[in-house]
Chains A and B, each alone.
Chain A
Amino acid sequence: MKVTVLYVDDEDINLFIFEKTFRNIYNVITANSAEQGLKMLEAHANDIIVVISDMRMPGMNGLEFIKVAKSKYSNIAYYILTAFDYNEEINKAIADNLINKFFTKPFDIEVIKNSIESVVKNLNQ
């Protein structure tokens, strides 16, 4: 069975590319805002294993969204995929164990793949 990944980004192109890239490997669900993302989580709570979110978005930003999501769905692995290289906030989020890791744009398929695989491995154990 394919792993289900939720990807949240306010830019449709990013969503489109992400979906196109990973659809063969994962079951990709996309959302173009934090609100939409929360809705998707609610709808597919049992399927979604990994959530990857953009950082800067209108409304809630990525970390705010994850904070809310994690309070509800704590057994999901959360990641940030950002165009920023470095950010105190993200650093703090990693330190606080809010997110597992952050990826940078343009994303590296292998890096994301490896991270998801390790999550799946953990789950299986």
Chain B
Amino acid sequence: MSEEENPIFMAISFAKSFITRTFLLVLLGLTTLTIAIGLWIWQDVKNDRFEDLNKTAVFLNNFYELTFLQRELGLTSVGERMLAIDGPDQVRERLSVAMNAISSHTEFMAIGLVDTTGQLITFTGSLDQKNLPNLAKSEKTRRTFEQVKKARNIILGEAYFFDEISNWILPIRVPIRNENGQLLAVNTSAISINTLLTELDNFNINENYQVQLINEDFNSIQLYYPLKAGAYDIILHQNANIYQDYKTITQEAGIDFFEAYNTIEKNNQIGARSTSNALNHFVVVTVDSSILWQAYRGTFFVILSIYLTGITLVLIAFNYFAKKEQRFENALARERFYSESIINATTALIVGLDADLKCRFINPALERLTGYTKQDLHELNWWRLIFPAWWKLLSSGKEISELSLMLDTVIKSNRENFEMELITKSGEKKNILWNYVEIKDAGSAAKHIIGFGIDMTAQRSIEKISMEREANLLSIVESTNNIIGLFDTEYRIIEFNKAFDTYAKNTDNITLQKGMAVLDNMNRPQAALFKSLLSRAFKGEKISQVVEYPNGSDKFYFLMNYNPIYQGEKITGASLFVQDITELRNAQEALKKYATNLEGLVNERSQQIVEANTELNKRNEELSTTLANLQKTQNQLIQSEKMASLGLLSAGVAHEINNPLNFIKGGSNALASVLKEADPKAFEEAAPLIDIINEGVNRATAIVKGLSHFSRQNEAKTEQINLHQVLDNCLVILNNRFKHKVKITKNYTDSLPILMGNEGQLHQAFLNILSNAEQAIEKVGEISVATTITNDRIIVKIKDSGSGISPENLSRISDPFFTTKAPGEGTGLGLSITYKIIKDHGGSIEVHSDLGKGTEFVVLLPC
């Protein structure tokens, strides 16, 4: 399963992004919210300010309008009155009117009249008279005049500070028209605005506000409040230019300034304006925009600190969750590392199948076993390549679903383990014990099948071999009519052959069963005897004893052999081997009985029938002869049995071979001498050939001679034996097997004493040891034969460089029938016979073996 498909890892990455995303969203949300709230409050502050500015502007506009309309009314009436004067004293009278007006209105500083051409008609007041002509002619005055000519009513001039009277002066022009609206003249006056300013002061206008009264053409600021001496002109003109800019911009954009803007934001200034009033002016109230910040500052810092606190909390939370997640991830990674390591390192076979039984995953152990890679076994190749039998099912028309059903059944039927044979890439068959489990993917509810397998091939083959061995053993055990049984140390029978069972049934009506304490079921006095024999065998004793055993009214004679069973050093039980010698015994008994009976009969008859005595004696003799004949026949039988033995056979064969060998050897020698005399040159040429013939004969002779040593069938140990000859004979016999395989090293003592013993038996003993040594060498190796002498012993050391004997087998090599050779290759009797022979000669055998290095047999014989 790849990482992308793994639901656990998908969950991790999802959670990871989820947490990160959540925190980013929270941060973003918090920031947005904070900015929104900040802006909202800012806007509120700003709106409040604008509202106040606007209110102020409207209020002041109304105030100005009211104030100046009153002045207009007065000035208009004064102007009209002055204009109405006609006559020679026109000038004086007009002046008088004006002076009256000034004196009756403390505000009026000067009053003049200008005709439609701009010529000053009348002027009076406390203003600088000197400047008046200039005033009338000045560009500024002229412009004002032009305005006035167009104006509906009052036109204000620009206020200025008149030093001489320490007063703020505001010039006022009022057009005077007839009923048709025709301009007749212009009243040009100046008023002191000190009172006005006092009134304005009383309004308690925000000290930061700057209030300007601006004309409709945006080119002149009439009044600036609060008034700042000195700086006044600069401010006035600066601002006038600003408003001019506004106008230009709005005109260019085709927007009516008055409609588009009732607020002003420019050059760090904000402001509001009133609508144009009856005076053709409007009021602009501005303030430094820093006032907003001053109002907002406190709120801003509160918001900022809340925001920062919030951010800090979020970050702390994020850190907490991220750490928690990291720990979770680390734990998962660790688990993943462990599980992956296990999957990679285990020798167990692991396969992952999906619900369609397509192979998705195999572990390295399975790769190694099958020789295929993951890619090879992908999807259905899994079945096709390594389970051809199942694949065949599929290709024979069965559908995947059926296969799935089969597997389902296997899984559900609680047969946790089942064995299947798979075929590896190299074509080997492997027995795999599978355990399939079904797992469900938590994320997708998809079904997966995980198979865990164990390679049982080696075990199966061991089982097979052990079964074969058991069968072989069984056939051996069952091939005899003798009783064979094995007991454990609890006196329970653990193995028995049919013969045993048959006897038990017939004598005691016991049906043998493995594990049965058979002696406890035997209701006979012999049971105690058998038990004691067994218990002796358990202590390591080898027992051979004849036991009478009742058989109905009759009885059996059993030759019972008990031998301990070793497992290593430990005795785990005892074997029982019983020969039924009843017939032999019966025959002997019968003979004895017969003889006794006969004697009695003879005596009886001799007493009873004296006259028949002679005849009886004669008969008696006849019977004796018969008995003698019988004995002779028996001896002959024994003799013939002996004759059948290999030894005697070889003796006969030896005689028959030696004669023709004599022909050859003698013939060739004779031939040589004939040739030597007749043709010395030809003899020289033939000499090697004759040598070859002689060599052949010598070898054959040695073999035959060697063989004949085994024919000594007598049991007597009275022969004078040269042990070196015995060893050499054995080496000659085995020469055929040693050739090209074994290098023989001999190291004989110079002072070998003559040994008394049985030559045939000793030959057999050393032949067995040497033969085993040869068999222990697999390919090539060495066998060394050495003899040494101590005070009372001849020591023969036979050492091979063969495979050696394992410690557990070493203790058993003297047991009869123990062999490590394949059935049929060895009887397991050889070494046990050797041990017996050496023991019978009063000697002993020591064996030292290193597994893989070789074995040394040390034979100690008394001399």
A-side residues, CB < 8 A to B, are: 11, 13-14, 17-18, 20-21, 24, 56, 83-86, 104-107, 109
Contacts and interface: CB of A to CB of B under 8 A. Distances in A.
B502 to A, nearest CB: 46
Contacts of B662: 14, 17, 83, 105-107
B655 A17 contact: no
Given A21-B670, A104-B701, A105-B661, 6 more contacts: A20-B670, A83-B654, A85-B654, A85-B704, A105-B658, A106-B658
B659 A83 contact: yes
Residue from A11, A105, A106, A109 with most neighbouring chain B CB atoms (10 Å): A106
A104 B709 CA distance: 14
Contact of B666 (A56, A86, A107): A107
A118 B72 CA distance: 196
Nearest to B708: A85
B708 A13 contact: no
Please classify the interface of chain A as helix (H, G, I), strand (E, B), loop, or mixed, using the class held by over half of its residues.
loop
A106 B655 contact: no
Given A86-B708, A106-B701, A21 B669 contact: yes
B663 interface: yes
A17 B651 contact: no
Contacts of B756: none
18 contacts: A14-B659, A17-B662, A17-B666, A18-B666, A20-B670, A20-B673, A84-B654, A85-B654, A85-B708, A104-B701, A104-B705, A105-B659, A106-B658, A106-B661, A106-B664, A106-B665, A107-B662, A109-B669
A85 B670 contact: no
Contacts of A107: 662, 665-666
B542 interface: no
A80 B238 CA distance: 169
Interface string B661-690: 111111101100110000000000000000
Contacts of B841: none
A23 B372 CA distance: 86
Contacts of A104: 658, 701, 705
A56 B667 CA distance: 21
Contacts, number: 65
Nearest to A18: B666
Given A105-B661, A106-B658, A84 B666 contact: no
Contacts of B705: 85, 104
A86 B669 CA distance: 25
A14 B701 CA distance: 17
A85 B711 CA distance: 10
B666 A106 contact: yes
Interface string B695-715: 001000100110011011000
Given A85-B704, A85-B708, A11 B666 contact: no
Contacts of A105: 658-659, 661-662
A17 B668 CA distance: 9
B663 A13 contact: yes
A17 B708 contact: no
A56 B655 CA distance: 10
Nearest to A19: B670
A84 B650 CA distance: 11
Contacts of A84: 651, 654-655, 658, 708
B57 to A, nearest CB: 158
Contacts of A83: 654-659, 662
A21 B661 CA distance: 15
A79 to B, nearest CB: 15
Contacts of B670: 17, 20-21
Residue from B657, B659, B661, B665 with most neighbouring chain A CB atoms (10 Å): B659
A84 B667 CA distance: 20
Nearest to A14: B662
A11 B708 contact: no
- Sort A-B residue pairs by CB-CB distance and give the 6 closest, nearest first: A17-B666, A83-B658, A106-B665, A85-B708, A20-B670, A105-B662
Interface in B698-744: 701, 704-705, 708-709, 711-712
Given A83-B662, A86-B712, A106 B673 contact: no
A11 B654 contact: no
A13 B663 CA distance: 7
A104 B657 CA distance: 12
Contacts of B697: 106
A24 B666 contact: no
Contacts of B712: 86
Contacts of A24: 673
B717 to A, nearest CB: 15
A104 B656 CA distance: 13
Nearest to B669: A21
A21 B694 CA distance: 14
Contacts of A18: 666
Nearest to B706: A85
Nearest to A20: B670
A65 to B, nearest CB: 18
A104 B666 CA distance: 12
Contacts of B654: 83-85
A109 B668 CA distance: 12
Contacts of A11: 659
A22 to B, nearest CB: 10
Interface string B412-434: 00000000000000000000000
